Amino acid sequence: MFTRSELEIKTIPELNRLCQRYGIKPTGNRGYKTSYITSLMAFPTMAISQLKQGRGLRALDFADFQAIGRMIEVMESPTDEQAALIKITLEGRRMSYPDRYEQERLLAVHQAKMLLERAFALLSQ
């Protein structure tokens, strides 16, 4: 990520901006460059270590992954008519009330399914 020589040529305000940019807190006294350099050099390794330890953001276990797959299956696929209504809704056409509420609900369910499928694909990489 960052090399020590790359960071050592920066001023304290520049190092401070880098820490703020990535949300990293300097270790020790903020008056010394080494406090910033240490944090900026260590955070990538620490982040991977925390992932492996199961701290913070964690990967799903197999059962959770299967649950997402099951949700996608339960939602099934839209019928031809539902697919047509989704398409026309995405074009900005709206039904009159009270059917518009169901039209919006259909679109929301469709979008949720698409996002679940995307999440499933991302998590299976």
Return the axis-axis angle of helices 80-90 and 99-123, rounded to nearest 10°: 100
CA atoms within 13 A on the CB side of 2: 20
Say what the pLDDT of residue 56 is: 94
- One DSSP character per residue, 55-67 reads -SS-PPPHHHHHH
Say what the pLDDT of residue 107 is: 97
Q: Are 39 and 16 in contact (CB under 8 A)?
A: no
Q: Are 85 and 103 in contact (CB under 8 A)?
A: yes
- Encode the chain (125 residues) as per-residue pLDDT tens digits: 899 999 999 999 999 999 999 999 999 899 999 999 999 999 999 999 999 998 999 888 899 989 999 999 999 999 999 999 999 999 999 999 999 999 999 999 999 999 999 999 999 88
Say what the pLDDT of residue 59 is: 85
- Cis before residue 98, ω within 30 degrees of 0? yes
Say what the pLDDT of residue 34 is: 94
